[in-house]
Amino acid sequence: MTDHTFIAEPGGALRGCIRVPGDKSISHRAIMFGALADGVTTVTGFLQGEDCLATLRAFRAMGVLIDGPDQGRIVVRGVGLRGLRAPAGPLDMGNSGTSMRLMSGILAGQAFDTVLTGDASLSRRPMRRVTEPLARMGARIKSAAQGTAPLRIRGGQRLTGIDYPLPVASAQVKSCLLLAGLYAEGVTRVTEPAPTRDHTERMLEGFGYPLARESDRTVAVTGGGRLTATDIDVPADISSAAFFLVGASLAPGSDLLLEHVGVNPTRTGVINILRLMGADVEILNPRLAGGEPVADLRVRHAPLRGIRIPETLVPLAIDEFPALFIAAACAEGETVLTGAEELRVKESDRIQVMANGLTALGITAVPTPDGIVIQGGALSGGTVDSHGDHRIAMSFAIAALRAAGPISIRDCANVNTSFPGFVALARSAGLTLREREAA
């Protein structure tokens, strides 16, 4: 097994105009909804990362004809809600929690049995948060003893809609239950403790499925409808843009334009948090693309200050915290995060792994059960371990812009799950970054 290492040299600035790859959350959903719709759906801007390709392969294995991807364009020939066929073997979701959780909802309503598997990281992630409410709807799903993958889903079950208050704010769980609700008798209603990304709701409406937004935290669907194919233009992923928003904020002399970024209000927590810290982020040319708000983001260097991050913003920035922890490390004063225990069950324990890495680079970072306390300071060079977590690998690469020496980041192969081409794009913007593989 090879160790894929990033080596980021210190200093530099981020300048120019770039477009990061397509939004991962929307790319997943575009395949799922296109496959389940009546008619042909054309998707542009599709993220050709490993996670989304796992979703694509799963639907091909269930008889859906999909052309591409070719430079971000795919054509999905939908089979309707009842048109999927039994796959020949288990469906491998790779590293993708989104794929596994959302597919559980779809597969719970099928007439055939399926097995969902994943890599070592995904096989440690909690799945009871979807299997338990699905069981209340009538699904029959067997997991491993710890409530993790593989998931064995029995087909031919009669699903019934439920009212479900989410114990934890999670767009993946909400989406899973809404997708199962398409196959259920009656109404499936989900209430969140805090708003989360609403790409599923927007896409249901885009595909012509009736949806009831009963409040800012409650959404409901009634089973028995149909999805009608539509074309989707996937915006650039704000989670991928976050590394460059942070990097340009930190590095003196930076002036960077990020094009066509999705600025769905359920995803802009990273912008709001950076602005609270003093960042100079402008939202330019706001517009709609396929029902999703997009804009160009201009970010220039500005001195950052530590803050207490409002808990209301945590679900709106949950994937961007590794990058935000780098901002906190370079800010003046103390940054305190609470209410973010969800970070401990991502691709890695992002609180502990980031704290370890920051400590190795000379920063005082103290983990707490639901967050972290970071004292801004001077980043040294050094070696950190990403533990196979793509967002942690990219965050420490960006940190080198303000480091005193080179930063070596181990175990970076999974960057391709969300951001193929990261090294080349980061170099084009001004980061001195190279890759090394060792046996």
81: which 2 tokens? 């809600």
Instruction: Among 233, 257, 279, give the residue marking a domain's end.
Output: 233
Q: Where are the beta strands (DSSP E) in 277-333?
A: 280-289, 292-300
| Same domain for 10 and 32 | no
Answer whether 362's CB lies under 8 Å from 378's CB: yes
* Residues 254 and 135 occupy one common structural domain: no
Same domain flag for 72 and 8: no
Considering the entire predicted model, what is its pTM?
Answer: 0.92
Q: Given this model, what pLDDT does residue 1 score?
A: 47
- Has residue 439 got a pLDDT over 60? no
Task: Report the pLDDT value the prediction gives residue 243, as an integer from 0 to 100.
Answer: 98
Split into its structural domains, the chain has a count of 2
74 and 18: one domain? no
Shared-domain flag, residues 54 and 12: no
Residues 254 and 225 in one domain: no
Give the total residue count for the chain: 439
Average per-residue pLDDT in the chain? 96
pLDDT band at 235 (very low <50, low <70, confident <90, very high): very high
Tell me the pLDDT band of 406, cut-offs 50, 70 and 90: very high
Residues 329 and 344 occupy one common structural domain: yes
Q: What pLDDT, on a 0 to 100 scale, did the predictor assign at position 66?
A: 98
351-360 residue pLDDT tens: 999 999 999 9
Identify the domain containing residue 77 by its residue range. 24-233
Catalytic residue numbers read: 319
Indicate the SS3 state at residue 279.
coil
- DSSP class of residue 354 equals H
Of 206, 233, 260, the residue that ends a domain is 233
Domain final residue pick, 179, 198, 233: 233
List, as own/partner pairs, every contact residues 360-365 make where C-beta atoms lie below 8 angstroms and the sequence separation is at least 24, other chains included. Answer: 360/384, 361/329, 361/396, 361/399, 361/403, 361/407, 363/329, 365/325, 365/329
Q: Are residues 224 and 303 in the same domain?
A: no
Tell me the CATH number at 264. 3.65.10.10
Q: Do the beta carbons of residue 129 and residue 170 sit within 8 Å?
A: yes
Helices (H) and strands (E) in the chain, counts: 12, 23
Q: Is the pLDDT of residue 180 over 60?
A: yes
Are 229 and 373 in a shared domain? no
pLDDT in tens, 75-121: 999 999 999 999 999 999 999 999 999 999 999 999 999 999 999 99
Same domain, 7 and 30: no
Q: What is the pLDDT of residue 291?
A: 83
Statement to judge: residues 431 and 307 lie in one domain: yes
Residues 266 and 119 reside in one and the same domain = no
Phi-psi region of 279 (alpha: psi -120 to 50; beta: other; left: phi over 0): beta
Structure tokens at 11: 């200093």
User: Of 342, 377, 340, 372, nearest to 354 (Cα)?
Assistant: 372
How do residues 33-49 score in pLDDT, each as one tens digit? 999 999 999 999 999 99
Written as six digits, the tokens of 105 are: 């909802």
* pLDDT at residue 383 is higher than 80: yes
- Strand, helix or coil for residue 364: strand
**CA 211, CA 207: separation in Å to the nearest integer?**
11
